[in-house]
Structure formats: structure tokens, C-alpha cells
Amino acid sequence: MHPDKEGINRIVDILIEKGVKKFIISPGSRNAPLIKAFTNHPQAECYSVIDERSAAYFAMGIALKEQNPVAIICTSGTAVLNYAPAIAEAYYQQIPLIAITADRPEEMIDQREGQAIRQANIYHNYIKASCQFPQEPYDANRLWHGDRMVSEMINKAKQQPCGPIHINVPLREPLYNDGDYKEKNHKIIHTVTTKKSLSEETINELAKQWNAFDKKMILTGVLHPDKELDNTLSNIAQDKSVAVLTERLSNLSIGNYHHNIDRLLNAIPTSEKHKYAPQLLITIGTDVVSKQIKQFLRTHKPDQHWHIDISGNHTDTYKSLTHIIPVTPKTFFTQIVDKITPSKIDYYNMWNTLNDIEKHNTFLQNAPWSDFKVFGKLLPQIPANSVIHLGNSTPVRYAMLFEERKDVEWYANRGTSGIDGIISTAAGFASASKKINTVISGDVSFFYDSNALWNKHLPNNLKIIVINNQGGSIFRIIPGPASTGQLEDYFQTKQELNIKKMAEVFDLNYYFCDEKDNFNDVIKKVYQPHNKAVVLEIRTSGELNDIVLKNYFDNIKQL
């Protein structure tokens, strides 16, 4: 039965009519009218996920896959705060997420009522828009106001750059009464889609400037897979005075790109670094993972830096920003491609000659069992036409040292680089995907987000690979932590927890692999069809990883 609160039924109707299909609901009483309204709507696809932190990341994973808003619904109090990490991540990743939080009536806030905190605009730093739904009792004006705000919130979530929005809903008792449902009683406001492009005059001027430079670098951050963009960029990359430096998370593979930024940067002889500096730097996408390219570009500054970003945000990562070009990268490259002329400098090859693949392969072959070795063996074995979710910390970095896989999609929570929702995000994505989804996580990140497994919707196409190096291996790699004398206890947080027992608690398939096992046989088993999600623990020695990685970078240096 539907709730007796018309305003609530209208929220659901507007969401459905505006194309939101999936609703992730966490339990509670204050949100009972919302639960009734969503679960009784024939077109609403509802999921029950208990832990709000995990539920929000799970929803974000679905929204990322479907490129369509997903709504999360929870009760009042700290439940609302538990959405915050995923909301911040969705904000920086520009993912449309709709948080609908039940609240006490406004006059009861700060009155020592249970489960009541100040919820209005609670995510204010990390939200595209938020609204306070009108109080009950609903009259014609309040219903009109509610309808208008819900439409506006959804429109804003979907408007590029997309992002999270918040609807806070004060609710009065009684919460469980049934009522009549008046179909199509609501009002809808549509926004029409627009396509921003540059005027002929502007693009001609930019092309003139472009053509005056000999060395052009296009550096790509996180991008959603987009074949059209990839094709257009591959045409631009045919000009040898252009070097396109991409990361795994850029999901670009068609053209002559340079896929291993850190490998190449480490190979440049120190005295030659300045020769590799671009004159024109063009950046697209959101976050770039490689710290080394950031340092390189901040030291060897380009004459001009154009950032192509529809939001118009002034993101000056390399401290050399000269132009903001507020259109999509696809629009920009499509408009400029026929206007650019090649120059004499073969900037592409300058970078390409740094790539000594034989040296890389020989090192990998001879490397001892370590995270580096595991990534080198694992990445080529992940099935074609599948999706890989990389954990923050070292997985996202190791993956960029090895050969690009053109046949997979790559994702990671690089919006805020938290380790707290990696498994939940991958689980949500996988639940909406027909492909095999592999998440590669460190052991600390796995335990942090272990409530991701506390989810009855965990799909059987999800393979969770935990690199168990007994703590945060990154802290042995980055300079600093070891000098404190507290490395193991307060940075690495050395741990010996039992991953097998964790898999058992949630009744999941479990496999194990270390140096003694036949790696290929174990991987084969993991990727056989299973009726439940799979956890694979790969054990390495936490103590060796930093040494192997340092040796690798020393080894590839061209003297």
C-alpha cells in the first residue's frame, strides 16, 4: 500500500517519470513513508542495503555504469552522515546521485529528539544542489513547491557536469498509515539539452596558436569510455608533433598514445628532462594519478596550458593554466582537427623511444614474488571484454606500469581517492553490468569496506582480488613514513587478518594464491562461472614491495 502522504508519492512519481529507475534503500522508521512509496511503485527497482556508507557507494557504482541518476533513501540522524563519503566522491567524479533523507519535523531539530541532527544542506561543500522538502500537512502550495524542487534537483543532477543532489524530507508521525494513490497528480519541469561549441572565430584563433607550437602534449585524466572521443583524439595523434599521455583510467586506446607515464618519465636522463617539456599543454578529464607527471610539468612549465572542461572550473593543477575552454573534449577536438597543421618536430617519437619494453619484460621475468610481479602476471590474465576496478593506494599505480589492455574498461574512485568504498562501488557497477567485473584492492581497503559484502544483491559477475601484503604497502614506498620510527604501527598498520574467514561470514567463494601455488591455475578457477561473488586472496611479502619497485625504476633509467 502507498503512504497517506501525497507529497511523498509525488517524489517517487517525478523521479520515475524523469528516468530514475533504481532506488537503494537503507532501513529505518522515519523513512517508512518513502520505503512504502518506492517499494509499491510498479516501475521502481528497489534494492535493500543496510549500511548507508556502503549503500551510497553501491548506488554511485550503478550510476557510473548507467550514466543515469540512482537514488539512495535513508532514515534521519547519523545515517545521513554515512552517505557523505560517497557524496563527496560522486561530486568530484561528477556522477549523478540523488540522496533522499528522512528527517524529523523542522521544529524538533535540536530539541533532544532521538535520531535528530541538523540535516538541512548537510553536504553543502560537496553537493550540486540541495533542498528542504516542504513540511506536512501538504496543501496545494506546498505540493506545488515540492514538485518544483524535486524536478529542479533531478535536472541539476543530470546537467553536465553531473553531480550529487540532496532532498531532505521532514516527516511527521504517524508514519505507517496507508492512503489513496492519485496517479499522475504531479507537475514536471523539463530542461532541454544543449550542446555548447566554440564559435568559428574562437576555434580559428586557438588553431592559429596551436599551429605556432612545435611540441604539443595532451594529458588525459579520468574519462568514461567514449569511442567517439577516442577516434577523434586518435586523428589528432597522427600529427607527430603531438604526444598524447594517457592513464589507465582515461579509457583511451585507439590511437598512438603513450600509456605508461611513470615508466617513461623515469627513463628520461636527468640532464635531458627540459627537452621533453611541452610548449602547449592540453588537459582533459578529471584527476590524473601520476604524481611524477605533475612534478615534471610544474618544474618544466609549458608556454600555454589549455584545460578543456565543460564546467569552466579553473583547475590549475600544473600552475601554468592560461586558457579554460568550457566545452567537452569531444567538441573541442572535433572542431580543431581539420584546422591543425603538423610541425617538423617528432615529439611523439621523443617519448616513444623512452619505452624500452625489453628492459621492462626482463625485469618482470626476473623479479621476485612481490606486488609488482603479481600485477605483471595478473593484468594480462583478466578476461577480455571485462571491467577492472582499481583500488586506491598502490593498485591504481601498479596497473599503470604494465601494458595497456585495449579490451577492458578501467575505473577507480579517484574523485577523493578514499579507500573506504572501493568494493561497494565495484559491486554496484557489477550489479548493473553484464560483463565480468574484477576489483583489485589492498587488504586495508578490503577490510575497511568489508560491509560491501553485507549485501544480498552482490552479483556473481564480481571477482574481488585482495593483494594481501599485510597492511598499507604504500607507506613503505612513499618517502617519509619510515623516518618517523612509527612506520609499521601507525602508517602501514601491519595486520594479519583472516580473509578466508571474512569470505565465509558472507558465504562467498574463496581462493588463495601465494608464491608456491600455480598462479595461472588459480586464476582460471576464479574466472570460471560461479553462482556467487568470488574473493581471491593473493599473498605477498609486505617487506619486499618497496625494494622491488625502487629497483624497477632504477633499472629502466636511460643513462
Q: How many CA atoms lie within 13 A of 204 on its CB side?
A: 3
Tell me the three-class secondary structure of 265-297, residue by residue: HHHCCHHHHHHHCCCEEEEECCCCCCHHHHHHH
The bridge status of strand 97-103 relative to strand 129-132 is unpaired
Q: At closest approach, how far in Å is the CB of 367 from ligand TPP?
A: 17
Encoded amino acid at 550, one letter: K
Q: At closest approach, how far in Å is the CB of 310 from ligand TPP?
A: 28
Would the CA dihedral through 556, 363, 554, 492 be positive or negative? positive
Residue span binding ligand TPP (CB under 6 A) among the ranges 89-97, 153-161, 379-387, 391-399: 391-399
Nearer to ligand TPP, 285 or 395 (CB): 395
Give the span between the Cα atoms of 100 and 130, in whole angstroms. Answer: 10
Q: How many CB atoms lie within 10 A of CB 130?
A: 21
Give the CB-nearest residue to ligand TPP: 442
CB neighbours of 557 closer than 8 A, spacing ≥ 6? 266, 267, 269
Q: At closest approach, how far in Å is the CB of 351 from ligand TPP?
A: 28
Our CA angle for 226, 303, 324, nearest 5°, is 45
Q: At closest approach, how far in Å is the CB of 51 from ligand TPP?
A: 15
Q: Contact at 8 Å (CB) between 100 and 83?
A: no
DSSP state of 489: I
246 binds ligand TPP (CB under 6 A): no
Nearer to ligand TPP, 232 or 392 (CB): 392
| Binding pattern for the stretch 451-490 against ligand TPP, x by CB under 6 A and - elsewhere | ------------------x--xxx----------------
Pick from 24, 242, 244, 419: which binds ligand TPP (CB under 6 A)?
A: 419
Pick from 370, 392, 437, 540: which binds ligand TPP (CB under 6 A)?
A: 392
393 binds ligand TPP (CB under 6 A): yes
Q: At closest approach, how far in Å is the CB of 85 from ligand TPP?
A: 7
Nearer to ligand TPP, 91 or 348 (CB): 91
Q: Contact at 8 Å (CB) between 528 and 436?
A: no
| Ranges within 256-275 binding ligand TPP (CB under 6 A) | none
Pick from 28, 163, 442, 481: which binds ligand TPP (CB under 6 A)?
A: 442
Residue span binding ligand TPP (CB under 6 A) among the ranges 43-51, 303-311, 360-368, 387-395: 387-395
370 binds ligand TPP (CB under 6 A): no
Report the candidate in 401, 71, 64 with the shortest Cα–Cα distance to residue 223. Answer: 64
Q: How far is CA 464 from CA 426, 440, 461, 497, 536, in A?
A: 9, 6, 10, 16, 6
Give the span between the Cα atoms of 201 and 473, in whole angstroms. Answer: 52
Encoded amino acid at 289, one letter: V
Give the span between the Cα atoms of 59 and 93, in whole angstroms. Answer: 14
Nearer to ligand TPP, 12 or 422 (CB): 422
Our CA angle for 94, 96, 99, nearest 5°, is 125
Nearer to ligand TPP, 329 or 395 (CB): 395
Nearer to ligand TPP, 3 or 472 (CB): 472
Nearer to ligand TPP, 438 or 473 (CB): 473
Pick from 443, 449, 537, 546: which binds ligand TPP (CB under 6 A)?
A: 443
394 binds ligand TPP (CB under 6 A): yes
User: Count residues contacting ligand TPP (CB under 6 A)?
Assistant: 17
Give the span between the Cα atoms of 58 and 53, in whole angstroms. Answer: 9
420 binds ligand TPP (CB under 6 A): yes
Residues lying near ligand TPP in the complex (CB under 6 A) are found at 391-395, 417-420, 442-445, 469, 472-474
